[in-house]
Structure 1
Amino acid sequence: MLCTAPQLLRPRPRALWPAPRCSSSNDAQPSPLPSSTAAAGGIRRLVLPPEGRAKLDPRPDRDFYAFPRLVTHVDDGFIAALTGLYRERLRAGWDVLDLMSSWVSHLPPEVQFRRVVGHGLNAQELARNPRLDSFFVKDLNEEQQLALEGGSFDAVLCTVSVQYLQYPEKVFAEIFRVLKPGGVCIVSFSNRMFYEKAIGAWREGTAYSRVQLVMQYFQCVEGFTQPEVVRELPAAGGSSASPLDAVMRLFGMANSDPFYAVISYRNFKPM
């Protein structure tokens, strides 16, 4: 979902472009330290230039997302791939932060976590999510600091939402801060988006450049491990493909969503 003023963490109601390039622009970001001197969790460099952060719709995200959207934004194949990846990488008893979440988290139903904290823009959606033990509402494009204790989560998840972050460097630095040493961050995405709300670098990019962009988000923060990429692409089609399928693929509207995930860990020691 998209990333309203910060609210206190509270229990869920029980009854209810081309390849990305680095920029020297400061653009409301902290002054990055050179990579040789950046402390663990520090921002080593800026990934996006000002134009790469721009959205076609400049209105606050909280206005765009004022009403709940109780739908899934990817298809069953994507969801199955994501749940399978979570089943492989997450462990029972973990503390999990579901960043930019919604009414469903796609976590394996048989795995019980110690707690799952949700974050998003619409409280009604988050209250409907059965996997969340608590949640908070915050617009990460207005203020990136998370009111969460440092080193308190084994995993941070971000599903089909990274394309909306205008200040990803700060957000990924916060992800590093709240992760425990050795904790994992899994960022998943497809080719779908709210076009007017996606940043310019994402709108004008390709599948390859978007993967590279998310990798750079991790790499710009000192202390993340080298990102790992997982891809599951739709089949190229065979004799059973209909003419409509071919037309949809021609216009980039294949009837199956590609699955991409970029995974990195908070290193036990600064790299």
Structure 2
Amino acid sequence: MQSLIRPLLRPIPLISISTGGVLLATSLYGSRAAHTITSPSPPAMTSSTPKSYSVKPYTPRHETWPYKPSDFTRQDESSDTHFYDTPRLVTHIDDLAIESLREYYATVLPTKGRILDFCSSWISHYPDAVADAAEKGEVKVTAMGMNDAELRANKVANGGRVCADLNATPDIPSALSKAGVPTEEGFDASTCVVSVDYLTSPLEVLKSLLSITKPGGTVHLVISNRCFPTKAIGRWLRVSEQERLAMVGDYLHFAGWRGIEIVEVSDGTIEGGRAAPGGLGGLMAYLGMPGGARDPLWVVRGRKEG
């Protein structure tokens, strides 16, 4: 699917062209920059009903790690911490994609135990059932991100808020321990929203995550077609959307995760002619044009054996 140019509301140059189409802006490490500017309160969570998804099993493509260090270089190699020193209380995918993500999370995330949202921000997009369980203390949610003010605004993060630059130190257990978050019990599930394309050492990050995941625990890496091209890794900008998904599958495979699958949560089209609240779909509706578009959404997920 080709990405489309949509109006953006940030003063930073955010558009780059790759063989997969035009990449659009989100942010560094998650919900950091702007497709939709929001208030500091997260949108109301919607109730979700079980639905079926297009799920394709990942098949290992390589016998050894196939990527070169140059694949993980970026146009802007300046400090990520400096890049993200100002809070951005914004969302990075449109409202319909957020709704779809919550529906997906409702089918896979536990309401008891522990969840880690890494590369997180002021909102984790978790469904009502998880938010309610966190409020009751039945599930502990730890949010790890790049900006302390954003993390403090994350209402579901009842299990700790951890500032960490995973490109500087790609070791999740170390960052959690330094912040006083216990890792011995392990996590039942982890999530990461539109941020894996910014990780310069994804293999090390995902290996470290596996080490603190309970046997049978899962990881859910959420991917769309938006990014800051200056901070995304070089190979991400050069390949198609389907190759990006396969590449993330490679990350998980070589990090030791198993049962890897690629889930299509949204194909980027509008059902029933309903235009997306923001982006190109909203613009087309405003101009009286038929159809519309929404942000596409995939999840590459894996499981720890045991």
TM-score by structure 2 length?
0.67
Residue type of the alignment partner of 1:175: L
Residues 150 and 177, structure 1, Cα contact 8 Å, conserved in 2: no
Aligned length: 221
Residue 227 of structure 2: SS of its match in structure 1? Answer: coil
Is 1:216 the counterpart of 2:250 in the alignment? yes
Percent identical among aligned pairs is 33
Tell me how far 1:265 sits from its aligned partner: 0.5
Work out the CA distance in 2 between the residues paired with 1:263 and 1:185: 5
Match of 1:145 among 161, 167, 171: 171
Is 1:260 the counterpart of 2:298 in the alignment? yes
Partner in structure 2 of residue 230 of structure 1: 263
Work out the CA distance in 2 between the residues paired with 1:236 and 1:75: 12
Tell me how far 1:228 sits from its aligned partner: 1.0
Match of 2:161 among 132, 135, 141: 135
Match of 1:158 among 154, 167, 192: 192
Tell me how far 1:240 sits from its aligned partner: 9.1
Moved more, 189-198 or 145-154: 145-154
Match of 2:121 among 102, 126, 130: 102
Q: Which string of whole-angstrom CA distances, capped at 9 and with x for unpartnered residues, describes residues 52-102 of structure 1?
A: 101101101111101011000001121111111110001211200000000
Distance 1:93 1:199, change over 3 A: same
Distance 1:238 1:156, change over 3 A: closer
Match of 1:126 among 134, 151, 154: 151
How large is the RMSD of aligned CA atoms in angstroms? 2.4
Residue type of the alignment partner of 2:234: G
Residues 151 and 181, structure 1, Cα contact 8 Å, conserved in 2: no
TM-score by structure 1 length?
0.75
Gaps of 5+ in 1: 4-20, 23-34, 36-44, 246-253
Work out the CA distance in 1 between the residues paired with 2:260 and 2:90: 30
Residue type of the alignment partner of 2:149: Q
Gaps of 5+ in 2: 1-26, 30-60, 177-182, 276-280, 285-291
Is 1:63 the counterpart of 2:82 in the alignment? yes
Tell me how far 1:151 sits from its aligned partner: 5.4
Tell me how far 1:235 sits from its aligned partner: 2.4
